[in-house]
Chains A and B, each alone.
Chain A
Amino acid sequence: MAQALTHSEPHIGDRPRPAKNYLNETTGLWSWMSTVDHKRIGVMYLVAVLSAFFVGGMLALMIRLTLLTPSHKLFGKVLIDADTYNRVFTLHGAIMVFLFIIPSIPGSLANFVLPLMLGAKDVAFPRLNLASFYLWCTGALLAVTSMIFGAVDTGWTFYTPYSTTTQNSVGLMTMAVFILGFSSIFTGLNFIATVHKLRAPGMGWFDMPLFVWGTYATAVIQVLATPVLGITMVLLALERVFNIGIFDPKIGGDPVLFQHFFWFYSHPAVYIMILPGMAIISEIIPTFSRKTIFGYRAIAYSSVALALLGFLVWGHHMFVAGQSELATVVFSALTFLVAIPSGVKLFNWLATMYKGNISLETPMLYGISFILLFAIGGLTGIFLGALSTDVHLTDTYFVVAHFHYVMMGGTVIAFIGGVHYWWPKITGRMYSEKWGRVGCSLVFIGFNMTFLTQFFLGSKGMPRRYYNYLDQYQPLHAFSTFGSWVLGLGLIITAAYLLASLRKPMDAPDNPWGGTTMEWLTSSPPITHNFEDQPVLEHEPYDYRPKVKKHA
């Protein structure tokens, strides 16, 4: 029996909720730890990356609190000295990048949703999927251990020769990054195979939901770029342990070479982070506009274009670092090309809203927040891509603000929006819509207070990674710190109402938002094998034209 949908209205109480679902089919800790079900692994990943987000967020609040006043005094005492501050911002960066943002959407939401969207029973390699999760745990454990053994103070970029000469536990941290890299590669491999082999009957490449396109483009980068990070970390370890001169000029190495290696991974990694975020937005906007996506192919191709261009622009992190002048000019030109596919996506989402039937539930509020914040993140990138302005702005708070708008205002906002969007599907429960709106508003206001301020600090010449600063910057620093409290409050409220929703009985309909992709065809939460019958694609994705139900 094939299932069909009318797309304009939510489906409440279509049919009784099945007694057994993926959450209660088997019970006990071991049934979770040994599971190969992509949904359970997705949930474990969700808990894990959100824990990392919590730790990274606490560190962020510590950073902002330290910078509240130039004397760093609170109630007459210096809470954090320069050494501790350096460790705190290093851990904040490393945890947020490697433990949270990179695995966040692919590991949790995509793991859960991607097979459902394809109408598949699981990912192509379920055991590899579980291995990826355990690698993440091992990497996280090593990172925490390095924290206990004195912590790393190199910045998340591990620039040499500082990182090869400092006394701290850089070895453990680089090993953690190496292992986390493999976790990421496994996830990517799995998704590539899944998308190629496990699409539902009738689903061609251009019938896939755009979330799948975005995740697929991400997976390609994960598989192609991450090995370079692994190799770099191995070379770093070789230099530290065996004193082989690779990066340290004192023993014949080249520090700029490290930066090339590092950014050859870490720039594509920016697209590992943002593409899944864009992919979520491409789901949320049509669903809550109840209108077909505008420019489906353009959005799909632009994901692929960003994935490819992402490999060609790493040198824009090094305009003043000592790479050749010619390279710098070429990298600047290539960097401007990135603006085109990013702009195309933004315009397509806006065009999708045009003449839509738009309701503003929490996921859509995050969707619109994403459009606004990502626009600021993208537009400020022009200042940094242009060579002469970059000379002034690079290595200042302008850069800090810019990448927080893209990473947090972009990816994290999309991630939180995605968590709200698929929360009913994952947990079978609806959360408080009222508190959802309060949380989103506080996050939006707090985020802008914190980071918009930093564009002004950077333009005024405030360098990044500074413990002490001139008195003239104090008012802006203080405002930014106040903003971080509003942002923190918004996130705590969000965590509270989401967790509170778990205490009530399951009340989510199969398709609470009237979505058109296949994950909404199954029950909320889904049964262990995802679908009772193999779903068959009967319409284009995001087709909101009224349909006649073919089968009762």
Chain B
Amino acid sequence: MEWFRSIMLPPQGSAFAAEVDTLYMFLFWLCSVLFVGIAFAALYFAYRYKYTPGRVTPHITHNTTLEIAWSVLPLILCGWIFFWGLNGWMKYSVAPGESMEIQITAKKWIWTFEYPDGSRTANDIHVPIGKPVKFIMTSDDVLHDFYVPDMRVKHDIVPGRYTEVWFTPTVLGVHHFTCAEYCGKGHSDMNGKMTVDNETDFKKWLETGGDDWKNYTPEVWGQMQRDQKGCATCHSIDGAKGQGPTWKGIYGTMVKMNDGKSYLVDDAYLQESMMQPNAKVVAGFEPIMPSFQGLLHPQDIRGLIAYIKTLK
């Protein structure tokens, strides 16, 4: 039946996922059997008691035994399923005391994560395998929802409050997460990837941002950062106007700012725009970009600038 589960549901990335899947598959088979029973009865009766002119039907008004049976038996079944679901819910609700705590700040349409050691990252997180991770979440603007399908967890993120979600990752590799509460234009692009590492790789990643970047040219690495760090949500590369100016052909030009002055778009300007985005805002755009201070490692900034240079 494992093959069937893997057709129906995403890969399992946590112990909670296995818990959810067991109930899901039980309900799937239970409901399939009940549906086939109902459909068979309806279609069989329609066939078996096909219309014959003049036939008189029996006057059956009720049957107390039958009616009690089909009220009480489903009630017992429902009670059982309720407790089964409750059992899983308790595990989902209560995080173990020793969990690693990661803060999430959600904002249209970017995820920011802050680790206990103060390092920050956007849309791309790493977590160690086999250790419970608790996410403490809040929002800067509207409702969002942190949903990791492989872990089977999801919780709304509410501005002005802190909500929590936790799981223990059990499978190495990449698991996608995404926003599951409607938040406007970029809602469906508000996603990212979570890499489950072993302890050593995780520690290394936390210190240096990993050394993945060494496998790529700066231009390619920059292009990857554009997607991972959420730049792509606002900045197009084909000249289309987004929430922010397009990157196409912007490097090396003089650009007019909101304060009326013009500046040359060079390495220094680009770096300043990532760290203090509202220092100089291009004319015609709102000062809405969040600062990427602490989110971008030196190799990421170098890569992004190299990539923007290629966009003629």
Contact = CB atoms under 8 A, between A and B. Distances in A.
Interface in A318-364: 320-322, 325, 328-329, 332-333, 336-337, 339-340, 343-344, 346-347, 350-351, 353-360
Interface of A: 8-9, 82-83, 86, 153-155, 159, 161-162, 165-166, 249-250, 254-256, 289-292, 294-298, 320-322, 325, 328-329, 332-333, 336-337, 339-340, 343-344, 346-347, 350-351, 353-360, 368, 371-372, 375-376, 379-380, 382-383, 385-392, 394-396, 456, 459-461, 463-470, 543-546
A391 B166 CA distance: 12
Interface residues of B, number: 84
Interface string B57-82: 11111110011001100110011011
Interface in B11-64: 16, 19-20, 23-24, 27, 30-31, 34-35, 38-39, 41-43, 45-46, 49-63
Contacts of B43: 368
16 contacts: A249-B161, A291-B58, A292-B59, A296-B61, A297-B62, A321-B158, A357-B57, A376-B35, A388-B19, A388-B20, A388-B91, A392-B153, A392-B154, A395-B154, A395-B181, A464-B180
Contacts of A546: 56
A406 to B, nearest CB: 14
B31 A379 contact: yes
A162 B35 contact: no
B142 A161 contact: yes
A350 B84 contact: no
Nearest to B51: A359
Interface stretch (B97-105, B144-152, B219-227, B290-298): B144-152
B62 A386 contact: no
A329 B27 contact: no
Contacts of A161: 141-143, 159
B186 interface: yes
B17 to A, nearest CB: 8
B142 A391 contact: no
B10 interface: yes
B82 A392 contact: no
B86 interface: yes
A325 B67 CA distance: 35
B8 interface: yes
A486 to B, nearest CB: 20
Given A153-B184, A386-B84, A358 B46 contact: yes
Interface string B84-98: 111111011100000
A459 B88 contact: no
Nearest to B94: A325
A295 B62 contact: yes
B57 A290 contact: yes
Nearest to A543: B59
Given A321-B158, A354-B45, A372-B39, 19 more contacts: A86-B185, A161-B159, A249-B159, A255-B160, A290-B57, A291-B60, A322-B161, A336-B79, A353-B42, A358-B45, A358-B51, A375-B34, A375-B39, A383-B31, A387-B88, A392-B152, A459-B24, A460-B9, A465-B188
B85 A465 contact: no
A377 to B, nearest CB: 11
B155 interface: yes
